[in-house]
Amino acid sequence: ETIDLISDLIDFVSLGTNDLTQYALAVDRGNARLAHLADPLHPAMIRFYARVQAEASRLGLEIDVCGDLAADSVGLALLLGLGYRDFSLSVSSIPEAREVVRSVSCDELEEICGSLGAEQVVGLKIRLREYLATAVPFDTAPAAS
């Protein structure tokens, strides 16, 4: 939220989705009774990712994403749709992420993610899953849930 205040002191921004989700939603992901509430695709998080990317872009700062969100095909599609292009992934997540990136159109994802009003952000996960089901080869498409 204060990137503009420090932009002249930094060269890049790294969005850490795991910790950010935990702290923004006030949910301890290490607590087995609460971990299911730590949803990195919560509407508040989606809007936050959009604001951070837009502000970093406006200020000319490089931005990357680390954390489990980019390892999830729906999360990766969301991030691509919001304009993120650099990701830090675990080695085991790279093959699926590579297949998603090769199979999708960033322009189409940006159109899907373009409006983050109340009605749009709530249904965004469903629209992204539907898009991925048609864009990504069957063996890497996300399971419906």
pTM flag (> 0.85): yes
Q: Residue 131 — pLDDT band, cuts 50, 70, 90?
A: very high
CA dihedral 34, 17, 145, 26 (to 10 degrees): 30
What is Dmax (Cα atoms) for the chain? 45
Q: What is the pLDDT of residue 116?
A: 75
* pLDDT given for residue 1 in this prediction: 87
Name the nearest CA neighbour of 56 among 23, 84, 17: 84
Measuring CA to CA, which residue among 21, 22, 2 is closest to residue 13? 2
Task: Count CB atoms within 10 A of the CB of residue 119.
Answer: 9
Residue-wise pLDDT tens digits, 33-76: 988 899 999 999 999 999 999 999 999 999 999 999 999 999 99
- Beta strand pairing call for 87-88 and 12-16: unpaired
What mean pLDDT, rounded, does the chain reach? 90
Q: What is the pLDDT of residue 140?
A: 52
- pLDDT at position 123: 85
By the 8 A CB rule, do 70 and 53 touch?
no
pLDDT in tens, 72-96: 999 999 999 999 999 999 999 999 9
Tokens coding 138: 């069957």
Percent of the chain surpassing pLDDT 90: 74
The pLDDT value given to residue 142: 58
* Angstrom distances, CA of residue 63 to CA of 3, 37, 54, 126: 11, 26, 10, 26
Percent of residues, the chain, with pLDDT higher than 70: 93
Say if CB 123 and CB 100 are below 8 A apart. no
